[in-house]
């Protein structure tokens, strides 16, 4: 049996019906450590009180996330991040009603830090623990602040590890419509950035260069796959960029022409944006939804946001994209998902372990 130790925030008498109304307040700490961001957030009754994130910038020296270094960094910073999130929310540990942490998918060593910390803290405080699926949490990043999308809606999650189209029917009822068969959108951005030698993480840098480039300079392929398909494939597009760079004799160690890099970035980015938008709109039409949403690190891309805003208006769809802090990995989306799970009485067993390949459903 699970006993939810929720705080009673108000007891009021409803005069007409003579009913006593007990308002239960729920304060949740959410922890995210699935990759290279250590983040903690506090949500009370569905409202975000704080969100504190530490980004591991040192991976740039290695050109990508080094799993062992990522988990060690999470271990060093998790206590100060959690304490900071509680302090900013003016919440003490004893005020918490539950703790939520991600248990997958992601890097096993990284997940284990946040998951073990969250479980131990919940056990120490004698409060419920809630394991959260990282992909489900990303969808919740559009439910942290008002306005929120109405069910059902079609959601596009575009991150460094995943590209998924999801029909979200209710809080915990969703159908995976399609996903990438090879590279994720963010991974393609990072790999193209590496080929061009512009640095890591690649997505934001390609975005920055692309703003000064000509998107029509190079005609890269648009991997739409067969008509109406909800699947994605970005590895062929990435290889086209590689072949193009080889053909023109590009050498990233030489003194390179910034305009050339900007043009390649803009042309590659335009191909990714075309495909993502086309597939999101196709799914919205097929499932006849009024609301569409996008989340994950790549949803921070300025051209993708701009183009999608225009297309949503043309197609009379309500578009939801999180603010930049909630596009990349963050504790707020985990706390919000944890809050909704707790409201429905879904809590986890402390035996829950990390699942690096955890699926959405
Ligand atoms: O969601 P996220 O923080 O972590 C994962 O769950 O993977 O996404 C990280 C990914 C990286 O591949 C990064 O390059 C990409 O999001 N990204 C961007 C932008 N900002 C971050 N991609 C394109 N344009 C951006 N502005
Ligand atoms: Zn993520």
CA 218 to chain centre: 30
Atom 7 of ligand 1, residue of closest alpha carbon = 160
Domain 146-321 listed as CATH 3.40.50.300: no
Residue 167 alpha carbon to ligand 1 centre in Å: 22
Residue 298 alpha carbon to ligand 2 centre in Å: 10
Q: Which pLDDT belongs to residue 9?
A: 60
Query: In this structure, which residues have their CB less than 5 angstroms from ion ligand 2?
Result: 159, 329
Residue 176 alpha carbon to ligand 2 centre in Å: 16
Q: Which two tokens stand for residue 206?
A: 């390609």
Which residues in the chain are classed under CATH 3.30.420.40?
10-140+328-343, 146-321
Q: Which pLDDT belongs to residue 3?
A: 47
Predicted confidence (pLDDT) at residue 4 exceeds the cutoff of 70: no
For the stretch 274-297, pLDDT in tens is 999 999 999 999 999 999 999 999
Contact 113, 43 (CB under 8 A): no
Atom 16 of ligand 1, residue of closest alpha carbon = 297
Q: Which two tokens stand for residue 24?
A: 């239960």
Predicted confidence (pLDDT) at residue 16 exceeds the cutoff of 80: no
- What is the rounded distance in angstroms from the CA atom of residue 326 to the CA atom of residue 337? 13
- What is the rounded distance in angstroms from the CA atom of residue 163 to the CA atom of residue 283? 14
For the stretch 56-110, pLDDT in tens is 988 888 878 889 999 999 999 999 999 999 999 999 999 999 999 999 999 999 9
pTM of the entire structure? 0.93
Q: What percent of the chain has pLDDT over 90?
A: 86
Contact 114, 79 (CB under 8 A): no
For the stretch 133-187, pLDDT in tens is 999 999 999 999 999 999 999 999 999 999 999 999 999 999 999 999 999 999 9
Q: Which of 340, 299, 337 is nearest to 319 (CA)?
A: 299
> CA distances (Å), 356 to each of 108, 179, 334, in order?
5, 17, 17
Predicted confidence (pLDDT) at residue 1 exceeds the cutoff of 60: no
Q: Which of 141, 95, 139, 93 is nearest to 117 (CA)?
A: 93
Count other Cβ atoms within 10 Å, centred on residue 351.
6
Ligand 1: atom nearest CA of 327 is 1
Query: Which residues' Cβ are closer than 6 Å to ligand 1?
Result: 35, 159-161, 186, 189-190, 201-204, 207, 296-298, 300-301, 328-329
Ligand nearest to the CA of 37: 1
- 10-140+328-343, which class in CATH? alpha beta
């Amino acid at each position: 049996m699970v006993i939810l130790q929720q705080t009673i925030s108000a007891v009021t008498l409803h005069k007409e019906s003579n009913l006593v109304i007990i308002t239960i307040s729920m304060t949740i700490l959410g922890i995210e450590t699935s990759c290279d961001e250590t983040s903690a957030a506090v949500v009370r009754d569905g409202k975000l009180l704080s969100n504190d994130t530490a980004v591991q910038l040192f991976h740039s020296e290695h050109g990508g996330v080094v799993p062992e270094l990522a988990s060690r960094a999470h271990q060093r910073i998790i206590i100060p991040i959690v304490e900071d999130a509680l302090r900013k929310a003016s919440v003490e540990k004893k005020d918490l009603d539950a703790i939520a942490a991600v248990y997958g998918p992601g890097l096993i060593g990284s997940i284990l830090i946040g998951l073990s910390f969250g479980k131990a803290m919940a056990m120490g405080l004698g409060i419920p623990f809630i394991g959260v699926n990282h992909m489900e949490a990303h969808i919740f990043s559009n439910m942290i602040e008002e306005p929120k999308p109405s069910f059902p809606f079609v959601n596009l999650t575009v991150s460094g590890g995943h590209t998924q189209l999801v029909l979200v029917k209710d809080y915990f009822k969703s159908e995976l419509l399609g996903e990438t068969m090879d590279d994720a959108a963010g991974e393609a951005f990072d790999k193209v950035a590496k080929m061009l030698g512009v640095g890591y993480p690649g997505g934001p840098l390609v975005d920055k260069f692309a703003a000064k480039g000509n998107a029509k300079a190079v005609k890269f392929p648009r991997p739409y796959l067969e008509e109406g398909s909800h699947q994605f494939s970005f590895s062929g597009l990435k290889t086209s960029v590689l072949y193009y760079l080889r053909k023109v004799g590009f050498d990233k160690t030489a003194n390179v022409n910034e305009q050339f890099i900007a043009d390649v970035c803009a042309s590659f980015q335009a191909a990714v944006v075309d495909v993502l938008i086309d597939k999101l709109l196709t799914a919205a039409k097929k499932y006849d939804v009024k609301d569409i949403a996008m989340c994950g690190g790549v949803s921070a891309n300025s051209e993708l946001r701009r183009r999608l805003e225009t297309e949503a208006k043309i197609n009379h769809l309500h578009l939801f994209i999180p603010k930049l802090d909630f596009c990349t990995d963050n504790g707020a989306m985990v706390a919000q998902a944890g809050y909704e799970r707790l409201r429905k009485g879904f809590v986890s067993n402390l035996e829950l372990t990390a699942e690096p390949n955890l699926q959405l459903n």
